[in-house]
Every structure is written in structure tokens, then in C-alpha cells.
Amino acid sequence: MSQMRAAMYDRYGPPDVLYVGTAAVPVPRPGEVLVRVHAVSVNGGELHLRSGGLRLMSGRSFPKRMGIDFVGEVAEVGAEVRGLAVGDRVWGILSRKDNYRGKAGSAAEFVTVQAHLMSHTPKGLDLVQAAALPVGTTAITALRDKARLQAGERLLVRGAAGGVGSVAVQLGKAFGAHVTALAGGKNLDLVRELGADEAFDYAVTGPGHLGRFDVVFDTVGSRLPAYRRLLTPRGRMVTIAPDTGNLVGSLSYILVSTVYGRRRVQFFSGAPTRDLFSDLTAYVESGAIRPVVDTVHPLTAIAEAHRALEAGGVRGKHVIQIV
């Protein structure tokens, strides 16, 4: 096979700019692996890339490809790659450079990926369901590495029913924290099932009614000052989503919050490598984390998946099945 199907767009705009085109099957270079992609998830950052909200980084060269993470099987191994063989089931993420430029999106039948950006998937986990979980590396980084969440602490998760939030609820419970979840009213049952000790509808419960927390994990981006004020004297707050409606103001507040020292708002953009994906695999195999899939879409319905994510109210992840 010299040609493959791939999700593309020729201009910035709404979900309707997405289509399934054809591209050459890539050839792995030294240090890379060719992956036959089974499924990918739809991520919030992709919506901003597609709409042109990040065009200063993504540029104006078209066509661009879509897809950041992936789950699949190794189809070919490039030179200098160790520990991976043809037929291995793997998951991972494209490099940040590839993500922004859109030159090698993972929403395609094949993708080449640097070997250090993937690991083996958990044993026995369905690959399409598994596509909901690569974002779990973000939750691990936020709670374990940035906030250093400890057993017995109080954790607040904003956006608790979303792709990252649903993993954070499970991980917080596995770490022994008391987990409070903020989610849409129709999703409170889900977050309780995932392990939340308390669950509140964000539409009717403001920060003033929530009490104090040792750790606040934010996946929403709005009202950062109000939620930072909920921290205990030794509290920590981590956000992964500055407010796109007020990006300058949001980023400025994150910077200014350093005056609060330990109680500042920490922000990071995930760039997981093999070790972190291996940690994710271990958490899944231990039973601490399970995938939460909202809807599985065929590749031809990728525009529909983008519309669904933009509409909000997501329960876990929208997944694109390739094969």
C-alpha cells in the first residue's frame, strides 16, 4: 500500500473544513516507528488548531493533517529502535512540532512516530477503547508530578467528566485523596461512579460554596483567581487550559500568580514520553484507571466528532476509529 486515508483541512474554520483525503504512507526514519493506527481521540487543542486560534504557531501552509495521539500496532521499525517489534500494540503522541504544523496527523491509517514517544498498551485492553486514555498522561503529570497529591488531601477537579478530568478523578481516588468533582448536571452520576466523593453541577455551584482544597486541578481555564482562592495555606493549583476567551488575561494572571509562591497557579502543556506512557499502562493494568468513551466515530465522521466536542457536555472522550 503506497497511499492511505487521512483527515485533512485546507483552510482554518469550523468543523466542516475537515475531510478525508489521501496521502503517501510514510516511511520510518532512524529512531522512528511506522504505526498502523486503530484509533485516535479528539482533543481540545485540535479544535483551536483547526479553527486558526493557534495560527501563529501552526502557520499558513496547507493542507494540514489532524490528530495528536494514537493507539495501534507497529507495522515497521526504523533503524536504531530498540524494545519494539512488528505487531506490538502501542500508544503514544506525536511530537509537539508535528502537532502544531499539522504535517503528520495521527488521524490516518498510518503514522510515523519517534520511538521515545510511545509505549506498549495495557494487556487485554481493547485498542479503540484505549484511545480515550493517552490524555491520562496529562492527569498523571498534573496530580503526581506538579501538585504532588498525597493521601488524605482534598482534591477539586474542574471539568471532571471530560477526557482529562475523568482520568483525574480516578487517579485522585487511587492516590487516596478526597475527590470533589465539578461537572455538568447530567454527568454527576458518571463522576461519582469513577470515584468522586462529592459531585456538583458547575452551573449552579460556584466556588464560594465548595470549601477549601489542598489541590485544585483545572481543565476549564476560566475564573482562575476565584478557584485559586479556595486553596488551603499549603494548597497547590494546576491548570492545563488557559481561558481561550481571554487568553492574554488568563496567561497574565498565571504569570502574576507567582507572587503567591507555592499557592500560585501552575500551568503546563503535556509532552509525554515513553516513561510516562509506561506509567499510564501500569495504572490501567492495576485497575486504577479505566477508559471513558463518549462516542466512537468513523474517520469519515471526524467533523461530527469536532462539533460534538465543541458543543460540550462530554462524557469522557470522543474517539475516531480508523480500522
Q: What is the pLDDT along the chain (323 residues), one digit of tens a residue?
A: 699 999 999 999 999 999 999 999 999 999 999 999 999 999 998 998 999 988 888 888 999 999 999 999 999 999 999 999 999 999 999 987 776 666 779 999 999 999 999 999 999 999 999 999 999 999 999 999 999 999 999 999 999 999 999 999 999 999 999 999 999 999 999 999 999 999 999 999 999 999 999 999 999 999 999 999 999 999 999 999 877 677 777 888 898 898 999 999 999 887 899 999 999 999 999 999 999 999 999 999 999 999 999 999 999 999 999 98
Looking at the 3D structure of the chain, how many domains does it have? 2
- pLDDT at position 57 is 80
Is there a single domain that holds both residue 142 and residue 70?
A: no
SS3 for 232? strand
What's 40's domain CATH number?
3.90.180.10
* Cα atoms found within 13 Å of the Cα of residue 199, Cβ hemisphere only: 20
Range of the domain at 309: 3-134+290-321
281 inside domain? no
Q: Using the CB atoms, write b or e for 244-268: b if 16+ within 10 Å.
A: eeeeeebeebbeebeeeeebbbbbe
Distance, CA of 310 to CA of 145 (rounded, Å): 29
pLDDT of residue 100: 62
122 occurs within a structural domain: yes
Question: Within this chain, do residues 145 and 29 fall inside the same structural domain, yes or no?
Answer: no
> Do 5 and 36 contact (CB within 8 A), yes or no?
no
Q: Is 275 contained in some domain?
A: no
> Does 154 map to a domain?
yes
pTM of the model: 0.94
CATH code for the domain of 223: 3.40.50.720
